[in-house]
Amino acid sequence: MEQILKVEGLCRDYGRGTVTHAVDHVDFSVEKGEFVGIMGPSGSGKTTLLNCISTIDTPTAGHIWVEGKDITSLKQKQLSQFRRERLGFVFQDCNLLDTLTAFENIALALTIRKTPPQKVERLVQETAQLLEITDCLNKYPYQMSGGQQQRTAAARAIVTRPALILADEPTGALDSKSARLLLERFEVMNELCEATILMVTHDAFTASYCHRILFLRDGAVFAQLERGDLDRRDFFRRIIGVVTELGGDQNDVL
């Protein structure tokens, strides 16, 4: 299997004098087509780790390879290009542009990559179908429900066929039905388009859609769980099990 992401000895410190190790020597890798979750209580370094991978933040030490390319050594200008061409983002607060319709929000991800204009409409329509948002393509973000907004953001992330999709608490602001809808779409994206997804969450239900889960505490990986052939419900119980077994911050994890 082709390796999409490889993280080695990654550290991110904050502050001077009394240094906080937000991310402390993290190693892991993600294969092509995987759907990986990162779980952990608040302050465990999940978001910092994701920010480093998404090149929004720069690590203090260690390396990150995406498709064999060390992105920690890229210059500012190359970083923009890398984000534009190889990554897709889904944020908790979806970050859609309020002046653009859903269609245009998705199209923008293509136009800034200089996709040939005649291809844009077809690609957007296809992706919209995949995410079941064809009905609200001509609406502005404030005219859509939270779930529709988040699925539009997901469409924007995948329409460029990036190497890696990074999702930061995508279901954080959604009710359980909308969350389920979004996660099912993530599964479809993962299976049909072979999208590689790395998702940060603190919610066991959301995490149960992943193939593999890394548990983070105090900036370090302290457990890993594989779904294997398990049914999603069983996997959910396993996750709860791990969380309970490890005790301590169980309430934070849930």
The residue ranges that bind another protein (CB under 8 A) are: 54, 56, 76-77, 80-85, 87, 89, 95-100, 104, 107-112, 114-115, 117-118, 120-121, 140-142, 156
Query: Based on CB atoms, which residue is closest to another protein, 18 or 142?
Result: 142
Nearest alpha carbon to residue 217 among 7, 62, 50, 41: 41
Query: Based on CB atoms, which residue is closest to another protein, 100 or 220?
Result: 100
- In DSSP terms, 88 is beta-bridged to 165
| Nearest distance from C-beta of residue 143 to another protein, angstroms | 9
Please give the full DSSP string across the chain, using - where no structure is assigned: --EEEEEEEEEEEESSSS-EEEEEEEEEEEETT-EEEEE--TTSSHHHHHHHHTTSS--SEEEEEETTEEGGG--HHHHHHHHHHHEEEE-TT----TTS-HHHHHHHHHHTTT--HHHHHHHHHHHHHHTT-GGGTTS-GGGS-HHHHHHHHHHHHHTT--SEEEEESTTTTS-HHHHHHHHHHHHHHHHHS---EEEE-S-HHHHTTSSEEEEEETTEEEEEEE-TT--HHHHHHHHHHHHHHH-SSHHHH-
| Nearest distance from C-beta of residue 82 to another protein, angstroms | 7
| Nearest distance from C-beta of residue 117 to another protein, angstroms | 4
Query: Based on CB atoms, which residue is closest to another protein, 76 or 251?
Result: 76
Query: Based on CB atoms, which residue is closest to another protein, 61 or 113?
Result: 113
Cα–Cα distances in Å, from 59 out to 12, 39, 49, 161? 5, 20, 9, 26
| Nearest distance from C-beta of residue 49 to another protein, angstroms | 17
Query: Based on CB atoms, which residue is closest to another protein, 109 or 207?
Result: 109
| Nearest distance from C-beta of residue 176 to another protein, angstroms | 25
| Nearest distance from C-beta of residue 104 to another protein, angstroms | 5
| Nearest distance from C-beta of residue 152 to another protein, angstroms | 13
Query: Based on CB atoms, which residue is closest to another protein, 98 or 229?
Result: 98
Query: Based on CB atoms, which residue is closest to another protein, 77 or 177?
Result: 77
